[in-house]
Amino acid sequence: MTRRQYTQHGLTVPYIAAWSGESLLSPPIERRTGKAGPFLAYVDESPYDRDEYGALWVRQALARGRGRAKFATAHALRQRQAAARLLCQVCGTDTLMTSPDRQLFVLKDTGQPVTEGEWTTAPPVCLPCAQVSVRDCPHLRLGHVAAWVSQPQVIGVAGILYDPKTLRRVPLPRNRATTKITYDDPRIRWILAARLVTALHEVTPVELDELAAVPPADRPPGHP
């Protein structure tokens, strides 16, 4: 599927980037009790508020292209779609169409290559968008690492954890914005999810400069 591509100040706005018109909502929450015990819920919860594994998701307005693009912030639903369906986080196309056996992941450089089993909230990128991502993404501009990943596996969510007794947010360490929790962790009942977390398996680190040497004739149509 071809999705509309937006630019802002000459930079490509990633498909998953949030826009200023896409505000986060804060509906009232409550503690409910089900067959397996208590859990966090919205007072006016609808079936769309949970994913297929039962995690409660943050509500965020959908208005892609409205206002100003926030390059450093992903939209919760588009990140979730891209991570679950392996859509390119920059252009939104299905990476399985052009690369069914492995996906390209580009991550912020933290001083080591992409490691086997590493967790990330970054969805993959398609090959033509890899160079765009390291040029235009504020997380990657200062340094990146890349890898082909044959077995990317969604394992849980990143979000804000709530205290089951007080229903207050559990404070985070200063350098972290979210808590990452796997679906088999009992605390999944008390998190308000904002991102899917993917574990990267069968990892082959790669230099993007080498990929850039792929001749244009080998690239899929519709890409620069």
- Size of site (CB under 5 A) for Zn ion: 5
Residues 29 and 26: their CA atoms lie apart, in Å, by 9
Coil, helix or strand at residue 198: strand
Which span (25-33, 36-44, 98-106, 127-135) binds Zn ion, by CB under 5 A?
Answer: 127-135
Phi, psi (5° rounding) for residue 209? -60, -35
Beta carbons of 52 and 60 less than 8 angstroms apart: no
> Could you tell me which stretch among 57-65, 119-127, 172-180, 210-218 binds Zn ion (CB under 5 A)?
119-127
Residue 25, token pair as written in the block: 């909502």
Q: Could you say which of 18, 40, 91, 107 contacts Zn ion (CB under 5 A)?
A: 91
Assess 134 for contact with Zn ion (CB under 5 A). no
**Maximum Cα–Cα distance for the chain, whole Å?**
60
Shortest Cβ 46–Zn ion spacing (Å): 32
Q: From residue 15, give the alpha-carbon distance in Å to each of 1, 2, 57, 74, 78.
A: 13, 11, 19, 9, 7
Among the listed residues 90, 104, 122, 158, the single contact to Zn ion using CB under 5 A: 90
146 forms part of the interface with Zn ion (CB under 5 A): no
Shortest spacing between CB 14 and Zn ion, in angstroms:
9
Residues binding Zn ion (CB under 5 A): 88, 90-91, 126, 129
